[in-house]
């Protein structure tokens, strides 16, 4: 049986990657979008991710480079995601 990750362990993984707080994860996510789409995307990215939870932000960061998914950070994100976060991901997959 797989070992369950605790919230403290999830936050430790996120902290080790510099995104241990929601604000740090939000800033990092915006910078990823700017790096990918250019400076003109900064305001849109801030609006798009402004209401994301810490878990959703971490998930977005973990899978930002589909060729180099950060599986530990993705597992940490899953621990921190709310029921509403899971519903949002499920609904997005249906679209």
At 1 the pLDDT is 45
At 2 the pLDDT is 54
pTM of the model: 0.89
- Tell me if 1 is assigned to some domain: no
- Tell me if 2 is assigned to some domain: no
pLDDT tens, residue by residue, 25-45? 999 999 999 999 999 999 999
**Domain around 71:** 7-94
CA–CA distance, 84 with 93 (Å, rounded to integer): 14
Looking at the structure of the chain, the number of domains it has is: 1
Long-range contacts of 6-10 (CB under 8 A, 24+ apart): 6/79, 7/79, 7/80, 9/76, 9/79, 10/75, 10/76, 10/77, 10/79, 10/80
At 66 the pLDDT is 84
At 94 the pLDDT is 82
Within 10 angstroms of residue 72's Cβ, the number of other Cβ atoms is 16
At 45 the pLDDT is 97
Enter the tokens of residue 61. 């960061």
- Low-confidence residues in the chain, pLDDT < 50: 1
């Amino acid at each position: 049986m797989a070992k369950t990750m605790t919230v403290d362990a999830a936050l430790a993984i996120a902290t080790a990657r510099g995104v241990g707080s929601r604000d740090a994860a939000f800033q990092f996510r915006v910078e990823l979008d700017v790096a990918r789409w250019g400076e003109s995307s900064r305001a849109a990215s801030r609006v798009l991710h402004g209401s994301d939870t810490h878990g959703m932000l971490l998930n977005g960061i973990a899978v930002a480079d589909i060729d180099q998914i950060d599986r530990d950070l993705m597992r940490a994100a899953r621990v921190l995601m709310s029921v509403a976060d899971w519903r949002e991901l499920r609904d997005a997959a249906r679209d």
